[in-house]
Amino acid sequence: MKYVLAFVASEFVNFRQAEFSALVQLQGLKFDEVITDSSPDYWLRPYLMVNLDSDAQAEALIERSVLIKSIYHCWCDAPSFPQLLSEIATIPTQVTDQYLSRSCTYKVVISSANKKISHETKLGMIEDVLNSHPKLDATVCLSNPQASSTICASLTSLSNHHLHILLDYAPKNWPKLPPDASKDHLRHLYYGRWVATSKRCELINSYRLSDRNYLGNTSMDVRLSGIMANVGLCRPGTLVWDPFLGTGSIVLVASIWGAYGAGSDIDYALLHGMGMSPKAGQGKRLDDECLRNSYAQYGLEKRFMDVVVADVTTLHRLLRSPGVDCVVPIHEASCRDPVGLFDAILTDPPYGFRERSCRVAEKAIEREPSLVTPDRLVEITGQSTPNPVGQGEDISENQSILIPVPHDLPHFPHKEAYPLSETYRDLINLADRFLRPGGRLVFWIPVKREMNFGLNRLPTHPRLRLLCACEQILSGRNSRYMVAMEKLKPTESDECETRDARVISPADPVVP
């Protein structure tokens, strides 16, 4: 059966295909059988026709989508309003009877993209549509109808030239606009029945960052976290890891859909809610600011695993993956087809702009020993201060004496700068080692907009297949790409160096 997807107007347009492809896979469907068109501008349209088997399948498909608003069962479609009226007259009665019979109530809603239609025009269109039905016995009920029909007018720049009161506008910037067309060129119309609305509004409103107790300067927006969770195929029972965890905003959203969240970060203070809060006027963080309490805030405690203080280069010493020697450094070749631990790795590595990018130093930096008072040394070591050799005086009573702190005490390891190139090298090697076959790595990579971004700018690995790279513009000079890669299964051969450039989706500020 034919269904129509209604996308969010112009929000993350170049992410649509990546998210929808993942949603189709989560439902166990075949992508090529669901979509009806493979033209380049197919995903730029606000309404898309798809093939699905039932209303239940349609509702399940878009339930967790961030970029799809609603889905409709398409009764007919046409490139113009008069043609649509003709198509309505030919709709089989067995399709409409269960929704427009005497025992039902209904209302008609008109929605348009790229054009605001006046109320008077809508009333005229609704009257024409109702008069085109050969049989219409249902009662109109605008407040709470049992059946709801929807007309979706996909308009080029503003609206339909067949609506004569709108034909006076000049054409805009759609490249395929016919030369003899007026300003409000109507591309297509769909007529059908509303089936379901996604939970995107509930997700955005319930999990907005401004209401979250535990927050950081670079916490990921809930919409982008939702897209990452969908592209990463996060579902009930899966284990999701973030090796650059921060405040855990990404894994938290993944846990909304049933995944278990965990991760690691080198910043001990941030993981444990220490230091200054990014919230204006708060000052220091509160005692209960941590990822565990963020999960508790939304009733997701059962899906919280744990956090680990570690960086990507040392994580292999703490985690155990079957079939892999944990002693082998992370940047060296690992076992070809390990069983893996994680179903998905979702992360946003620090770029070195707003947050410092660092790792544990390979060699300790020699520094002068710290000198503290006897009382402070007792606090550090937990032991009483011994008398120095050759002195009979108990120095614990003489606080003017400074004592060097022993070097063998527990301490934070020294850190060093972490170049971005090495960050992504270690990240994809970590994914090769700890992802299960078929598991996905989703991460962000920053770029300069004036530089031509191509496949050569993306990290590669013979056991990871590149799925997509979608651009988000941050400023006039900077942007970042969400990159998704999938670990190959044991039966699949290594990825070749030649990759399809069509997986790269640059941001397009002009939406046709």
**Tens of pLDDT, residue by residue, the chain (512 residues):** 999 898 887 789 999 999 999 999 999 999 999 998 877 778 888 889 999 999 999 999 999 999 999 999 988 888 888 998 999 899 898 888 888 777 777 788 888 877 777 888 888 988 998 898 888 787 777 666 666 677 766 544 332 222 222 222 233 655 565 656 556 677 888 888 888 999 999 999 999 998 999 988 889 999 999 999 999 999 999 999 999 999 999 999 999 999 999 999 988 888 888 888 888 878 888 888 999 999 999 999 999 999 999 888 888 888 877 666 555 555 554 555 567 899 999 999 988 766 667 777 666 666 666 777 777 777 766 666 555 444 445 545 555 677 777 665 555 667 777 788 889 999 999 999 999 999 999 999 999 988 878 888 888 999 999 999 999 999 888 999 999 999 998 888 887 766 777 888 888 644 44
User: What's residue 212's pLDDT?
Assistant: 92
Do residues 467 and 500 make contact, with C-beta atoms less than 8 angstroms apart? Answer: no
Do residues 338 and 433 make contact, with C-beta atoms less than 8 angstroms apart? Answer: yes
Q: Please report which helix (H) or strand (E) contains residue 430, including its range.
A: helix 420-434
**Beta strand 342-346 with 239-242: parallel, antiparallel or unpaired?**
parallel
Task: Give me 477's structure tokens.
Answer: 């000079």
What domains appear along the chain, each with residue ranges and CATH number?
A: 2-198 (3.30.2130.30), 210-360+416-443 (3.40.50.150), 365-385+395-412 (no CATH)
**Beta strand 147-155 with 47-51: parallel, antiparallel or unpaired?**
unpaired
Do residues 219 and 176 make contact, with C-beta atoms less than 8 angstroms apart? Answer: no
Q: How far are the Cα atoms of 40, 53, 432, 452, 472 from residue 505, in angstroms, in the given order?
A: 11, 30, 25, 13, 10
User: What's residue 188's pLDDT?
Assistant: 84
User: What's residue 160's pLDDT?
Assistant: 26
Q: How far are the Cα atoms of 131, 315, 329, 337, 428 from residue 333, in angstroms, in the given order?
A: 70, 15, 8, 11, 11
* Dihedral Cα 442, 69, 91, 144, nearest 10 deg: 150
pTM of structure:
0.84
User: What's residue 104's pLDDT?
Assistant: 78
User: What's residue 146's pLDDT?
Assistant: 63
- Distance of alpha carbon 167 from alpha carbon 165, whole angstroms: 6
Do residues 77 and 188 make contact, with C-beta atoms less than 8 angstroms apart? Answer: yes
Give the count of alpha carbons within 13 A of 145, CB side only.
21
User: What's residue 170's pLDDT?
Assistant: 31
Q: What angle do CA 87, 88, 91 make, to 5 degrees?
A: 90
User: What's residue 306's pLDDT?
Assistant: 93
Task: Give me 34's structure tokens.
Answer: 């669901």
User: What's residue 386's pLDDT?
Assistant: 55
Q: At what angle do helices 81-89 and 119-132 cross, to 10 degrees?
A: 30
- Distance of alpha carbon 395 from alpha carbon 373, whole angstroms: 10
Neighbours of 130 (CB within 10 A): 15
For residue 149, the cross-strand partners are 108, 193
Q: What angle do CA 94, 100, 103 make, to 5 degrees?
A: 110
Burial of 401 (0-12, 13-18, 19+ CB in 10 A): middle
Do residues 269 and 257 make contact, with C-beta atoms less than 8 angstroms apart? Answer: no
